[in-house]
Structure 1
Amino acid sequence: MNDSRRKVFVAGHKGMVGSAIVRRLESEGAYEIITRSRKELDLLDQEAVQAFMRSEQVDEVYLAAAKVGGIHANNTFPAEFIYENLIIECNLINAAHQAGVQKLLFLGSSCIYPKFAEQPMSEDALLTGVLEPTNEPYAIAKIAGIKLCESYNRQYGRDYRSVMPTNLYGPNDNFHPENSHVIPALIRRFHAAVNAGDSEVVIWGSGNPMREFLHVDDMAAASFHVMNLDTDSYQANTQPMLSHINVGTGVDCTIRELAETIARVTGYEGRLIFDSSKPDGTPRKLMDVSRLRALGWEASISLEDGLASAYEWFKSNADNVRA
């Protein structure tokens, strides 16, 4: 092994985002990638995390580990969502600092922004209004992660950066029928409907909310890009108290349009029924990605192409998907 290769710890490497970051780092060929499964390292265990960071002496950390889920999961398990996410990021960020790790990238979520934030949502919308109630605990935990990074930067001169992705999808997504996000839930539902010959598929909500979606391989590419920006370029496009950067496509669609696209990709030809008795969540969530574009990165995978590849991955891994 070339001793000059940088050691990088990817926390959450079995998840959708973490596994995409690992793939991206492997393609670069210049990193020694360190990973640990949940059985090998419980990120909720402060002492275990501190001991791991001391012993491994990594150069960089990608903090992609998190407890995630859709509207139903966030509504059902709010205590677990705020507690586990707070503990994971507190343990890892503080342990990285104590171990002398200078570079860390924290992955947050677009839900950090107020429910009725001006669209598209820019980074300075943070903490300017009330959050969407259905995922407020999760959002507060992610906001805390941003502020943790900013605080260690201010007090100790660390280089801890934060990226806020829009809605993600792709390989290794969670396809649970109730606790997953909208794209994997619909892919699974339409796939089952095609196989069963169902005449209709019921979809939560009115279909009117607008959402932006980013393929996880694009997210990994953006994360790598932001992590490797030189300090002057990064700081020139951020502020000392506003260090996070939005990651998205800058393009959104309605949930109805999304469902119609997934139906087309999966070959489903039945009726789509929208159940308006179910919650819609935030009316619109579109990211202002002008800051990231100024830093030299744009998404490259179109929604339909990304959905088609995600569906092919699902069919190839249907017996082993997270569910």
Structure 2
Amino acid sequence: MLDWLRKWYTNKFSDPQVVTLFLMLVLGFLALYWLSGMLAPVLVAIAFAYLLEWPVARLCRIGVSRTLSTALVVLAFMGLLTLILMWVMPLAWYQGRTLLRDLPQMIEIGRTYLLQLPELLPGMVSDEQILLLMHSVEERVMAFGRQMLSTSLASIVSLVALLVYLVLVPVMVFFMLKDKTQLSAGFVQFLPEERKLISQVWHEMNIQIMNYIRGKMLEILIVGGVSYLVFTLFGLNYALLLGILVGLSVLIPYIGAAVVTLPVALVGLFQWGFSAEFGYLMLAYGIIQALDGNVLVPLLFSEVVDLNPVYIIIAVLFFGGLFGFWGVFFAIPLASLVKATIKAWSTRMHPAEPENA
């Protein structure tokens, strides 16, 4: 057994570049795991910097200086983001308050539907099971209300930190874009001279992360906007709030779409009951999800998401458990990093045979 382990170690870690790449990945994961809370503004700035690098690069190509391009793009992005938030946030907040106000009435309607189940399904559902289920739901709703109250009180304390982030993040984004070359050169100085394998993995991941963040932002806007328009056309209550939830659900592949279906279905059910309007709503929602999964995602991420859905779900669960929200957001790039590392590692250990002339 020891001989086998020694041979495996010698075969896989005999190249110093492999050892360096492995140590860098381990140190990077440990740093994110232990310092993710402190580094949250930096991670936000990096995500925005990747998002805005494309328009900055396009302006530089037509002769605009890097500094001026960065200033124009950052100012335009912050202005657009401010306008969107000034319009969306008050409406979403109002609809959220309305939803909480209507929640007791919705619970009563749900209780009425549940009490009818023993008559509709005799022998399968009993009155005792329904009462136990309603008691459990009421307890969970009360616990959720208490949690929301404590969260709102705690948010007052974190308001100062939020204001600090609103100042720090744009400043960091500006300098990350403006001084991209200098920052990259400073980081490279810490790497060993023999870094061909690291450069190979980093070049592949740099392109994938940029495409992924840009594509994910576009997917959120498109799916959320289309969902809001469809819900508004149907006259669904809380259309904006539900549209935002549907848009944000694409951050969690597969799982998010399944989870956000529940509030959409419940609101439609409480508003119309088991009627034709409810059926048409769920059909339209299903079409949106189908177009997102089968048309939009392949179009936006054709060069990024080359992973089996099982691996993506495992990556979401694993990295989300390690790093929280940022682990979920970067689950696909992190899974792609693991795949690229294994590919480069295997190529290094087992180079392709040259073709015969």
The answer to whether the superposition gives a TM-score over 0.5 is no
- Give the TM-score normalised by structure 1: 0.28
Which of 1 and 2 has greater Rg? 2
- TM-score, L = length of structure 2: 0.26
Structure whose residues are more often strand by fraction: 1
